[in-house]
């Protein structure tokens, strides 16, 4: 238990892409669960950015909305984790989600519409993900072991999932999955009764 907690703590504090992505893959192996996250994680992030964009703060005399500040923080974090992937995710996913949130604010008749949309999306998104982990992955969600990873890194890795589906990740997902499968096979061999094929006993004459 202590060793597991140390690994999770390391994942929280680490800015290493390999460690973060490996942690994510452990909790998202089922293809339907992956699809659930691809659909809802961007919606969750986008609705949060729209809600935050309603507030403005002054930084150095310049007024910026909180949604933009959070979006920039996400983009910088992703670029630190992986410069090429991070910049791509920032331009293709984070920026459009922020702009969509701003468009919603401009078109919404009042703040109640924005908050209603935020609450509905958050409720549906988190419920779907918890259900997928419970019924499909047969394990608890990653956020219960690493809260920062769930909120900060998950959108980037969902972006990688989409690239993998389109065949544009250059085999990144497969390279990270192989060591995990090897460790799983090794654990089966070490576990009593875990071997699939029992050893044959030599017959005595």
Domain boundaries, the chain: 22-176
Q: Over 60: is that where the pLDDT of 7 sits?
A: no
Range in 2-6, 11-15, 41-45, 133-137 the model is least confident about:
2-6
Which residue would you say has higher pLDDT here, 138 or 118?
A: 118
In order, the DSSP letters of 60-108 are TTEEEEHHHHHHHHHHHHHHHH-HHHHHHHIIIIIHHHHHHHHHHHHH-
Identify whether the C-beta of residue 71 lies closer than 8 Å to the C-beta of residue 89: no
d(CA 101, CA 74): 15
At 88-116, the pLDDT tens digits run 999 999 999 999 999 998 898 888 999 99
Percent of residues, the chain, with pLDDT higher than 70 = 80
Which residue would you say has higher pLDDT here, 146 or 129?
A: 129
**Six-digit token string for 88:** 């791509």
């Amino acid at each position: 238990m202590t060793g597991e907690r140390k690994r999770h703590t390391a994942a929280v504090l680490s800015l290493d892409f390999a460690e973060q992505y490996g942690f994510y893959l452990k909790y998202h192996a089922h293809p339907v669960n992956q699809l659930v996250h691809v659909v809802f994680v961007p919606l969750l992030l986008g609705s949060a950015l729209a809600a935050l964009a309603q507030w403005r703060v002054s930084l150095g005399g310049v007024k910026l909305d909180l949604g933009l500040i959070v979006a920039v923080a996400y983009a910088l974090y992703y670029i630190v984790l992986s410069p090429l992937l991070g910049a791509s995710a920032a331009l293709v996913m984070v920026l459009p989600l922020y702009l969509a949130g701003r468009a919603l604010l401009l078109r919404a008749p009042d703040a109640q519409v924005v908050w209603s949309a935020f609450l509905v999306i958050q409720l549906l998104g988190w419920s779907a993900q918890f259900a997928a982990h419970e019924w499909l992955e047969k394990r608890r969600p990653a956020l219960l072991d690493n809260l920062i990873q769930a909120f900060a890194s998950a959108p980037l890795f969902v972006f990688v999932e989409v690239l993998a589906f389109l065949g544009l990740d250059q085999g990144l997902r497969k390279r990270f999955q192989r060591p995990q499968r090897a460790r799983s096979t090794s654990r089966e061999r070490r576990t009593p009764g875990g071997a699939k094929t029992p050893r044959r006993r030599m017959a005595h004459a």
